[in-house]
């Protein structure tokens, strides 16, 4: 136990009467919030995972020194407040775009969301007091932390942003190796393992050495899977397409003002024509079965309602001559009169062959929770669609469409009854500027590729547009802030990984087992601290 922190949290010095008696002293609260902010450095794109043991050490010492569960909960709340305020700082960029209307909300965006999310750190901090200090308390904390993290899927329309398991999605080969365990245990299983290492390694030399051994074994297993996992297309499967990802790089202010929608439309026509011509030439020169070509425009890239614009669809089809199909982000108005954020599938003639409506809406961005007294969502918000589907378009391998934010929901991105051969994700991260936000979003996309064993083609308005293979390996990208087109032959799908077959039940069972071992530790393990 760290005596200064324990003394700070357990001090019985007189406080002003207007402060709650259970509130920790301001200095200790701020130190824990700062520790949480340091932990946020492990999030993409920094990926400084080595800071986690130091940050969580401060929290665990505060929990050990707390008088009771309620004071431990305050310690967890402070840590969570710092973690999510720092991790979501980029939300401010979206408010700045409409600063003339919501200038007063600029300093509140990230802290306001953090206040909502901080209780998910307070609960494990409080419940960990049910186990004795040492490895058992740390294990109980890690199990409950991960369960609470998974529970964020049920917050409003869901907000599972920045699970600590995504910290391992480093750019390049190291990330390829470290994320492979997600094929078995999902990103939430990686979160459980990450928090276990962070809280147990500082306990002593033995625990630190054990943690290093676990990390080494983790890397070995990941490298083995990455290099040896079976790939290839079954004889009865369709040939994977060549995808053409158009990145128009349209500023969000320009999209909102709709000052020159014709120029934007013509830009996407030009990019589509360039990309499809290159893809058709590549398909013609390739050996083996002819690959179909499919073009993809980002979320709301079409500056209108595509279903209601037959002339525009005809122009798109002419620009995409040689392509089998196209998938275009557009608003649509459903039969009930409500607006949907959608992706529209077109055939080679420009006829509409499918419409997928975004099922998970962004809280405070696309829909407004009822408890918010002021109208902050433009137009009153949108209506969600029914959930994942698999499109079977003429000439194309089955595909699962996803719109933007909903790709972050581990275990809920494909129709498991009709598994697709690949995933297409259309998005617009221009709201958040050239910040950590779009990179954190990208890490989620990569984790879904590994979990589902499916390649992912992602078209982003301002970047990053990218193709991942079914191992989460980067096959090519268009970086942030560039206008251009990415043409890639889509790699094949893998057989369904363990996680793809059983989903969130896997990390759920692992969390329960961790909690049971922590609570009844002496009955299972002959060690104690």
* Contact (CB, 8 A) for 189 and 510: yes
Residue 90: inside a domain, yes or no? yes
Same domain, 251 and 360: yes
Same domain, 183 and 263: no
Residue 503: inside a domain, yes or no? no
Q: What are phi and psi of 127, to 5 degrees?
A: -70, -25
What burial class does residue 447 get, using C-beta atoms within 10 Å of its C-beta: 0-12 exposed, 13-18 middle, 19+ buried? buried
Handedness of CA 251, 256, 257, 260 (dihedral sign): positive
* pLDDT reported for residue 375: 59
Average pLDDT over all residues of the chain:
90
pLDDT tens for 22-31 read 444 788 999 9
Strands in 242-313 per DSSP E: 242-247, 293-297
Same domain, 274 and 146: no
Distance of CA 210 to the CA centre of its chain: 30
* SS3 state at 249: coil
* SS3 state at 33: helix
Residue 445: inside a domain, yes or no? yes
Residue 504: inside a domain, yes or no? no
Same domain, 14 and 36: yes
Same domain, 225 and 268: no
Helix extents (H) in 179-247: 182-200, 205-228
Residue 376: inside a domain, yes or no? yes
Tokens for 3? Answer: 């005596």
Within 10 angstroms of residue 383's Cβ, the number of other Cβ atoms is 18
Residue 58: inside a domain, yes or no? yes
Domain extent at residue 400:
242-494
Residue 338: inside a domain, yes or no? yes
Q: Which residue ranges of the chain lie beneath pLDDT 70?
A: 1-24, 103, 230-238, 369-380, 522-529
Same domain, 398 and 476: yes
Q: Give the C-alpha distances (Å, rounded to integers) separating 399 from 415, 486, 528.
A: 10, 19, 51
* Contact (CB, 8 A) for 442 and 466: yes
Same domain, 85 and 15: yes
* pLDDT reported for residue 230: 63
Same domain, 224 and 270: no
Domain count, the chain: 2
Same domain, 80 and 127: yes
CATH number at residue 268: 3.60.110.10
Residue 180: inside a domain, yes or no? yes
Same domain, 50 and 181: yes
Same domain, 413 and 329: yes
* pLDDT reported for residue 15: 47
Tokens for 319? Answer: 């620009």
* pLDDT reported for residue 374: 59
Helix extents (H) in 234-343: 252-257, 261-285, 310-319
pLDDT tens for 115-145 read 999 999 999 999 999 999 999 999 999 999 9
Total H helices, total E strands in the chain: 19, 11
* pLDDT reported for residue 372: 63
* pLDDT reported for residue 380: 61
- Catalytic positions, please? 299, 358, 404
Same domain, 167 and 129: yes
């Amino acid at each position: 136990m760290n005596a200064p922190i324990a003394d700070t949290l357990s001090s019985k010095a007189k406080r002003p009467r207007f402060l709650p008696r259970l509130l920790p002293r301001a200095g200790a609260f701020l130190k824990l919030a700062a520790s949480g902010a340091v932990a946020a450095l492990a999030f993409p794109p920094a990926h400084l995972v080595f800071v986690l043991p130091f940050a969580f050490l401060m929290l665990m010492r505060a929990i050990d020194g707390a008088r009771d569960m309620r004071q431990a909960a305050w310690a967890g709340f402070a840590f969570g407040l710092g973690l999510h305020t720092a991790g979501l700082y980029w939300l401010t960029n979206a408010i700045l775009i409409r600063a003339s209307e919501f200038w007063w909300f600029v300093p509140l965006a990230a802290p306001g969301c953090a206040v909502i999310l901080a209780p998910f750190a307070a609960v494990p901090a409080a419940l960990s007091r049910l186990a004795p200090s040492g490895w058992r308390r740390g294990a109980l904390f890690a199990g409950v932390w991960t369960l609470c993290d998974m529970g964020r899927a049920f917050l409003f329309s869901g907000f599972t942003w920045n699970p600590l398991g995504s910290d391992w999605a480093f750019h390049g080969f190291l990330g390829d190796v470290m994320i492979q365990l997600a094929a078995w245990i999902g990103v939430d299983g990686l979160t459980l393992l990450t928090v276990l290492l962070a809280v147990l390694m500082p306990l002593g030399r033995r625990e630190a050495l054990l943690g290093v051994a676990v990390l080494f074994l983790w890397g070995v297993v990941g490298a083995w899977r990455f290099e040896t996992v079976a790939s290839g297309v079954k004889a009865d499967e369709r040939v994977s397409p060549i995808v053409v990802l158009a990145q128009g790089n349209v500023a969000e202010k320009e999209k909102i003002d709709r000052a020159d929608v014709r120029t934007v439309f013509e830009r996407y026509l030009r990019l589509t024509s360039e990309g499809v011509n290159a893809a058709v030439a590549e398909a013609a020169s390739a050996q083996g079965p002819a690959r179909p070509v499919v073009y993809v425009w980002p979320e709301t890239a079409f500056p209108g309602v595509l279903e209601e614009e037959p002339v525009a669809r005809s122009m798109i089809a002419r620009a995409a001559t040689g392509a089998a199909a196209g998938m275009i982000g557009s608003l649509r108005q459903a039969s009930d009169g409500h607006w949907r954020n959608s992706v529209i599938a077109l055939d080679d003639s420009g006829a509409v062959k499918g419409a997928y409506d975004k099922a998970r809406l962004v809280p405070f961005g696309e829909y407004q929770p009822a408890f918010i007294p002021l109208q902050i969502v433009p137009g009153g918000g949108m209506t969600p669609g029914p959930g994942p589907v698999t499109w079977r378009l003429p000439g194309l391998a089955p595909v699962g469409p996803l719109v933007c934010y909903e790709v972050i929901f581990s275990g809920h991105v494909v129709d498991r009854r009709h598994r697709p051969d690949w995933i297409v994700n259309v998005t617009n991260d221009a709201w958040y500027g050239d910040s950590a936000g779009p990179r954190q979003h990208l890490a989620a996309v990569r984790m879904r590729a590994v979990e589902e064993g499916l390649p992912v083609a992602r078209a982003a308005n301002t970047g990053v547009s990218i193709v991942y293979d079914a191992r989460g390996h980067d096959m090519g990208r268009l970086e942030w802030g560039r206008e251009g087109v990415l043409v890639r032959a889509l790699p094949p799908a893998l057989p369904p990984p363990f996680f793809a077959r059983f989903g969130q039940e896997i990390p759920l069972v692992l969390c329960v087992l961790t909690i049971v071992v922590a609570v009844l530790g002496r009955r299972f393990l002959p060690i104690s601290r």
